[in-house]
Structure 1
């Protein structure tokens, strides 16, 4: 068709179904404690609400609230600490029940799974009938069962919502309202959605996605349709690599293309268990060993794993398989977590159920299903300002390189930044020798009176400066914390610049103050006055 965008989404006949269990962390926490998921329940992480049940939201509780505030709004609220292992273990019966209906499923995270819907919909007579069938199956998980006397929680009364669309991202959003998006209508459906939907699902959000959404909101972009109308080249040149992915999602295009390269042989990791495994601790230990071996093979082949299938075989030949999909390449730690979640949920399943193991596990296989070239991936700077793995820290190659430099130049020759406390921007970052304990000299969470207000300068410098008034006399800060005269020009090196705007001064001690000044050439600088001497502390870009 003339004028058609070559990247425009075209109905391909392939459909994606997403099944979402709302507030899964609270459902799992309540089940483990023997409470109803319909009670006011909240899950905390670092003292703040990470997830809350519908009853808790009806009482005024919201995500991000502190524990004391949430309990004051809802006195009957029960709080639990976040536990990803508990969430994964208790989600296993739900996955098993869904797999009985549609064999091939992918778990994005505990509480959310996806599957190809085209063939299953034809088998059940349509997408709506398939969605109803899956919702009924999930609602029946654990119904009428009781704990078996060994302290194992039984999930019951699980609510599930199903969404169907052409693309995975659209299906996940549609599942939150239980909708089916017509074929070829993803872009139209997304155009009216709020831009905050880009971060509503953590399993599909890359690093820095929240900052992108906040920036788009400040720019006046409120809907995904407005973001989708931006030129792809402009997004790539002005924003991060994750913004390019988010832009494709907003346009209804695939968020990540499948790898074109075939999976080379020899990546699969298999272990024969001798003796057979029937305990969680043994399975977790083996999972860590196999995860490390898998990623050594991936590194040798210069590949990264995006989708992984975990197979477990029992003595009597029973097979238990799950496929895990991630928005970022799996790390050894993330792989070991998924092995533990899957086996813990299976091995602790109710005896006598259809999916319960009939005997101990004798063989475990980790099979990469989708691999990509890691050189084409964009990593966020984390840890010490170098490409880090999930959860922070340095990669093995970067760590070995820094250790070698220390061996050549000395331990203090390599330093890494640590967030610290202080009033000025230069005080809020402390350099610590690599390998030492990353303990800041000043508490960054403490209250610092007279702390410089945000935004902080993007570039920290140390350079002398002079501030002068209309009569070309030096301007200082008087004992009352004010300018001795109105500043008119700033001298940096051999050149003088007229001021277009200034703010401050903000004193933070006797005879010391900071001020922000906008120069005639458009540069904005942060100046600091100490003992009647000015210096440039930072530059705003």
Structure 2
């Protein structure tokens, strides 16, 4: 049996969210990109030939004025919350299938407003009034029919879902695939079905369920249930609480840390009071400031276990004071004329999920407090943490950030990085390469010529006044970077297996160095 559902769809939501946050004019062609490919494009961009899936260069050739914005799932979900809240005022039981698409039961709400058509009109008006976004609504039995009807602004009569679905192409199944992995699976299946002569939803619905499961697996069964109009609903995504933020203008601008810290204390108390009033905890604390030169500064910090017991007004004040001290004492920023705090990733207090091995022990909490104390005494840059980033050489992939902050890495790991060392990555990278000698079985130094040929098979590794006879080796892998600059670097890497374990060594200007250890 199928349930009558209402689907509310905001077209091109990733583009709408990104353009809203970046304050891009509505008439400007916009696209969202992940890596080198476009994942969403605006109506204005489509009008000049830009299509989803294009490579960046191809899209810019079609539209030189195209504005490219980064893909950000968290941004899309956060900005979609006002749309969900507006729909929630009209119909109960709203579920977010994905940012840009809502589902809710339509039976009771249709009777309350007099008809399904009236319900659809109410939803469109509520979303437009509260958020200013244009939306489309479809009402039908089953998820697939409701979502497809929303793309056409249709309200289907009862028991009309199968008639509506039967002639449609199987490619329409991708509109209800809620993850990139599922979309890829369905596209592969649709290609297979086309070669088998199964091209419409009626063709697939006519197959026996056990045969579909045996031949096409779980993804095929999922599609088979949808085209039959069954009530197969996608998992609802968690509704995000709206961020809490407070700010104040500084007049006169603050040049001294004590002046800025006094204002920050009032803001910290206001923010903490708002969290207590909402009975919420936050996962991240964003600190922002603006200088008299118009420069915007921002830093985001993880909170202590995200609980009210860990994030007090005093601790917020300390964190803000440390950050403001770093900005003011660093020089070159200028006086501050505005300070702001924002509590992000809100959740009801007391529902914080503990670590994989249980709740934090007292020693871990005390260690965090000690590190924060060191930062308070010596500055936020005195304690550093590590983030992985993109790069070719092993040290290029290490990004040091102040402990507790959530700075974005300088180079994304999703890029291909041609020439990087193959997986697995070494477990321990030395702070500085250690000189070693790599010898052949005849005790001759191993050398690498311009064509990457070794003068002999590596057999002995000498380091720390000790010799290790190698069991095996792999490589070489050349890495040449920034050849057009004075600081150009060229190295050749080898992986060698010694009795003490696997090691990564490099050759630079005919000298060998120990770079890292493998587990």
TM-score under structure 1 length normalisation: 0.46
TM-score under structure 2 length normalisation: 0.48
